[in-house]
């Protein structure tokens, strides 16, 4: 699906995909807040029929932090740990997203983009051969 020229660039690719996903989530939220109905709903203390509590806000903040950490850790951790972070966090983020399903057309659009991005992150991390990474880098450098 993706062509990555150099094995070392996988962390950067994953980091960019995480940033793309979080920007879509944040833009969707900002986009939603521009409607009068969303503002009124927030003022009632209910969003999509669910009570907004401190616990709900904490879980939402935790979910956003998983996105942000995905971007950071994909580049900073050793490849084996970055791979595992991506493989564990993508299903967690997807589960969180499914707890608050889309309610209108633009929500479906943004959710589709984010879900496709998360699937791409998972597939890239799944195929990331961290055991033979040094051999792949040396082979790539020899061929280039």
17-40 pLDDT per residue, tens: 999 999 999 998 888 888 888 788
Neighbour count for residue 24 (Cβ, 10 Å): 19
Among 90, 117, 87, 115, residue whose Cα is nearest residue 102: 115
Which pLDDT does position 137 carry in this prediction?
54
Which pLDDT does position 82 carry in this prediction?
94
Which pLDDT does position 141 carry in this prediction?
60
Which pLDDT does position 142 carry in this prediction?
64
Q: Which residue has the tokens 């971007």?
A: 71
Q: Domain ranges in the chain?
A: 9-128
Please check the confidence at residue 4 and state whether its pLDDT lies above 80: no
57-111 pLDDT per residue, tens: 898 899 899 999 999 999 999 999 999 999 999 999 999 888 877 878 988 999 9
Please check the confidence at residue 135 and state whether its pLDDT lies above 70: no
The model's confidence at residue 133, banded by pLDDT at 50, 70 and 90, is: low
97-125 pLDDT per residue, tens: 888 778 789 889 999 999 999 999 999 99
Please check the confidence at residue 1 and state whether its pLDDT lies above 70: no
Please check the confidence at residue 129 and state whether its pLDDT lies above 90: no
Cα separation, 139 vs 144, in Å, equals 9
**Residue 103, CA distances (Å) to 48, 71, 108 in order:** 8, 28, 7
Which pLDDT does position 132 carry in this prediction?
72
């Amino acid at each position: 699906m993706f062509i990555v020229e150099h094995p070392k660039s996988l962390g950067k690719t994953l980091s960019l995909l995480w940033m793309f996903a979080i920007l879509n989530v944040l833009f969707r939220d900002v986009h939603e807040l521009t409607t009068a109905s969303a503002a009124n709903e927030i003022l009632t203390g209910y969003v999509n029929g669910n009570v907004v509590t401190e616990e709900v806000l904490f879980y939402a903040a935790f979910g956003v932090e998983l996105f942000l950490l995905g971007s950071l850790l994909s580049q900073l951790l050793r490849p084996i740990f970055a791979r595992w972070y991506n493989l564990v966090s993508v299903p967690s983020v997807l589960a969180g997203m499914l707890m608050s399903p889309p309610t209108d057309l633009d929500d479906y659009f943004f959710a589709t983009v984010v879900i496709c991005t998360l699937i791409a992150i998972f597939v890239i991390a799944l195929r990331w051969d961290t055991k033979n990474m040094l051999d792949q880098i040396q082979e790539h450098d020899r061929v280039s």
